[in-house]
Amino acid sequence: MRLTELNVYPLKSGGGTAMQAASLTAKGLRYDREFMLVTLDGEMMTQRKYPRMAMLRPVYDGTVLTAGEFVHRPVDNGVVRGVTVWGDPCLGIDQGDGAAAWFSEFLQVECRLVRFSGHRTTELGYGEAAFADGFPLLLISQESLDDLNSRLGDPLPMNRFRPNLVVSGLGPFGEDLVRTLRIGDVVIDLVKPCGRCVLTTVDQSLGVKGREPLRTLATYRTIDQEIQFGQNAIPRSLGTLRVGDPIEILEGHQP
């Protein structure tokens, strides 16, 4: 069992950055969902309503945020705005009129770019999160995607599901049976299945919606009245994750 992918999403609902190594903090992978686009009234913006966001390819190195022609040095002294993630109130530092103008032009809708500030607890109160939906980490088994693709006419890439961690060797949906994993020197707890939504139908290269994979997943992955694919996770210990790290099951079992 190995860690085969590490993905960081600097901008909520923007494209991911594939990493060979990444620091795991209490809020998840460093720089993950640190930035978010919001409407003028502070509501989060995602591909669910704005699928063109999939065309954004943000990269953040801790100093400069880039997205295509957009180059931005984050500000820490901007206006602190009250914003929401699924109705959950949190704070974001407004990144200025220039950033707002660039993203508003790209999406053809007025918006503001904010950077996470303050503290936010996870959905179940286990730990911290930045602008992620509810949990700091999402883990998916490569074999789970392989199983899905065996049922589809046109196979889909893993980026439809936007995981932070992709693992191999657990088997199809083996992540459902695991509660605690050691990945390299880091320990994480898998705490809740990930219920999937229309965002998974957005082609991440074209920014347009289709019907799959939800139509097919609904036929065999509807559990507790939601379509489940992948597991939300929280860190039990912190450190550095590296692609290729060995994985050990500490609690739970393989199928």
DSSP letters spanning 211-248: STTHHHHHHH-EETTEEEEEEEEEESS-EEEETT-BEE
pLDDT > 90? residue 59: yes
**pLDDT tens per residue across span 108-134:** 999 999 999 999 998 888 789 999 999
- The rounded distance, in Å, linking the Cα atoms of 6 and 18 is 6
146 and 245 in a single domain? The answer is: yes
102 and 195 in a single domain? The answer is: no
112 and 162 in a single domain? The answer is: no
Q: How many domains does the chain fold into?
A: 2
pLDDT > 80? residue 255: no
- Mean pLDDT for 147-157 is 97
Global pTM?
0.96
- The rounded distance, in Å, linking the Cα atoms of 70 and 76 is 18
113 and 206 in a single domain? The answer is: no
Structural domain contains residue 13: no
Q: What CATH number should be reported for the domain holding residue 146?
A: 2.40.33.20
111 and 207 in a single domain? The answer is: no
- Mean pLDDT for 174-186 is 97
Q: Decide the pairing of beta strands 137-141 and 165-168.
A: parallel
Largest Cα separation within the chain, whole Å, is 52
- Mean pLDDT for 70-94 is 96
236 and 143 in a single domain? The answer is: yes
Q: What is the pLDDT of residue 142?
A: 98
Q: What is the pLDDT of residue 92?
A: 98
- Mean pLDDT for 87-96 is 96
Task: Place 140 in a pLDDT band, splitting at 50, 70 and 90.
Answer: very high
Task: Place 220 in a pLDDT band, splitting at 50, 70 and 90.
Answer: very high
pLDDT > 90? residue 202: yes
Q: pLDDT > 70: what percent of the chain?
A: 100
Q: What is the pLDDT of residue 125?
A: 84
223 and 175 in a single domain? The answer is: yes
156 and 243 in a single domain? The answer is: yes
Structural domain contains residue 163: yes
Length of the chain: 255
- Mean pLDDT for 160-188 is 97
Structural domain contains residue 18: no
167 and 109 in a single domain? The answer is: no
Which of 89, 117, 145 represents a domain boundary (last residue)? 117
243 and 141 in a single domain? The answer is: yes
- Mean pLDDT for 130-156 is 97
The range of the structural domain enclosing residue 42 comes to 28-117
Position 2, amino acid: R
Structural domain contains residue 219: yes
Please, what is the average pLDDT of the chain?
96
